[in-house]
Amino acid sequence: MALTAKPGKRRLAFLRLAVLLLMTPPALAWNAAGHRLSAMIAWQRLDGETRSAVAAILRQHPDFSRWQARGKGADPDLTAFLEASTWPDDIRKDKRFYTAGSEQPTPTLAGFPDMERRLGWHYVDRPLPAGRRMPASAGVLDRQLAVLADTLSDPRASAVERSYALPWLIHLVGDAHQPLHTASRYGPDAADRQGDSGGNALKVFNPWQERYQTTNLHRYWDDLPGPPWLRGSKLDSAARSLTILYPAPGASTSPQQWIDESWQLAGIAAYPPSDDAVPTISAAFHANALDIARRRVTYAGYRLADQLQLLLKGASRRGDRRRHQEAAQR
């Protein structure tokens, strides 16, 4: 006897297939598509007041015109928001910027507080298994999320400070939801003080990637959410499909909790269950990793929207009160 699905189940199956088709990972992916997806989901959920506040801040950024030229979107405010989501990764290859400790500082350009690439802001390598002391080079993702939030919520912050902080906050909310941006696995030897650098030092064989089957585990996870070319109507459709597949997780949580969730996922699901020197990604592991990555990208979008609405509305109200107080004292 033939089995037939109910209309709701057929619709869900169609949406799942659509996401799979749109988001089959090629060589390079999450550093662009994953962040854009989170940003698009956040933008779709922002209220008009917060969208206007976000747009006003991003229009002050020195690279606003570059974002328009590259994104080529019909809505300049949405285009800026999406391009800002990848900007902290884009500057890794931008010669205007430099890597502290390995390159000479470059001249500070107008509109920027400095030209450092700030690579340590992207991650915090909490040890796996638990119990080891954090290494000196563990990254500052957790602390930087708090600093950026403080800057955006401070009505006294300058336009330069706020326009610099906002793209970083958009991006780092996404990074906090990637399991291997929050953890490194350490061996039993106490002399192992570096760990595997968030999976970067662990090679894996990925048969589900035709062009780059030998990679490292961190890049494998970065590549999961979607192709780097995902933009425009396909990006919008993929984002809307993800929000149907993965509803909002409930009450908004803190950045510390996002990182805790990612660290726990890294411990139970980020590493292939194999003792081989170069583990092979199995079909079951890959399916589970895809589900986790897409869920985390979606949650990052929900939480980014919640945080921006909280920070920017609060800053606007405090700014209004301060201006009223100053006017009353004149």
CATH number, position 47: 1.10.575.10
CB 80 within 8 A of CB 65: no
Q: Please identify which residue in the block is written with the tokens 């869900």.
A: 12
In the prediction, which pLDDT does 132 show? 84
- Quick check: 117 pLDDT over 80? yes
Query: Residue 82's Cα: distance from chain center in Å?
Result: 12
Beta bridge partners of 280: 205
In the three-class reduction of DSSP (H, G, I as helix; E, B as strand; rest coil), residue 280 is classed as strand
Angle at CA of residue 13, ends 283 and 300, nearest 5°: 75
In the three-class reduction of DSSP (H, G, I as helix; E, B as strand; rest coil), residue 7 is classed as helix
Residue 122 domain flag = yes
Instruction: Place 317 in a pLDDT band, splitting at 50, 70 and 90.
Output: low
Which residues have a Cβ under 8 Å from the Cβ of 156 and sit 6 or more positions away?
322
In the prediction, which pLDDT does 314 show? 60
Phi, psi of 205 (to 5 degrees): -105, 120
Residue 13 domain flag = no
In the prediction, which pLDDT does 190 show? 61
Residue 19 domain flag = no
Share of the chain above pLDDT 90, in %: 74
* DSSP assignment string, 177-239: TSGGGSEEE--SSTT--STTTTTTT-EEE-TT-SS--EEEHHHHHHTSS--TT--HHHHHHHH
Q: What is the pTM of this model?
A: 0.87
Residue 165 domain flag = yes
Residue 91 domain flag = yes
Instruction: Place 188 in a pLDDT band, splitting at 50, 70 and 90.
Output: confident
Interval 63-100: pLDDT, tens = 999 999 999 999 999 999 999 999 999 999 999 999 99
CB 301 within 8 A of CB 239: yes
Share of the chain above pLDDT 70, in %: 85
Phi, psi of 305 (to 5 degrees): -60, -45
Task: Give the closest residue to 311 by CA, choosing from 243, 252, 256, 236.
Answer: 252
Read off the pLDDT of each residue in 110-127 and give the average, rounded to a whole number: 96
Instruction: Place 25 in a pLDDT band, splitting at 50, 70 and 90.
Output: very low
- Quick check: 269 pLDDT over 70? yes
Least confident span in 29-38, 277-286, 298-307: 29-38
Read off the pLDDT of each residue in 294-322 and give the average, rounded to a whole number: 82
Please count the other Cβ atoms lying within 10 Å of the Cβ belonging to residue 114. 13
Instruction: Place 37 in a pLDDT band, splitting at 50, 70 and 90.
Output: very high
Residue 90 domain flag = yes
Question: Is 228 or 61 the better-scoring residue by pLDDT?
Answer: 61
Task: Give the closest residue to 281 by CA, choosing from 192, 226, 199.
Answer: 199
Task: Give the closest residue to 299 by CA, choosing from 44, 38, 83, 89.
Answer: 38
Instruction: Place 17 in a pLDDT band, splitting at 50, 70 and 90.
Output: very low
Residue 11 domain flag = no
Residue 1 domain flag = no
Domain span holding position 311 = 24-329
* Distance of alpha carbon 167 from alpha carbon 264, whole angstroms: 27
Q: For residue 202, give Cα distances in angstroms to 49, 154, 197, 265, 323.
A: 45, 41, 9, 17, 55
In the prediction, which pLDDT does 24 show? 39
In the prediction, which pLDDT does 8 show? 57
How many independent structural domains does the chain possess?
1
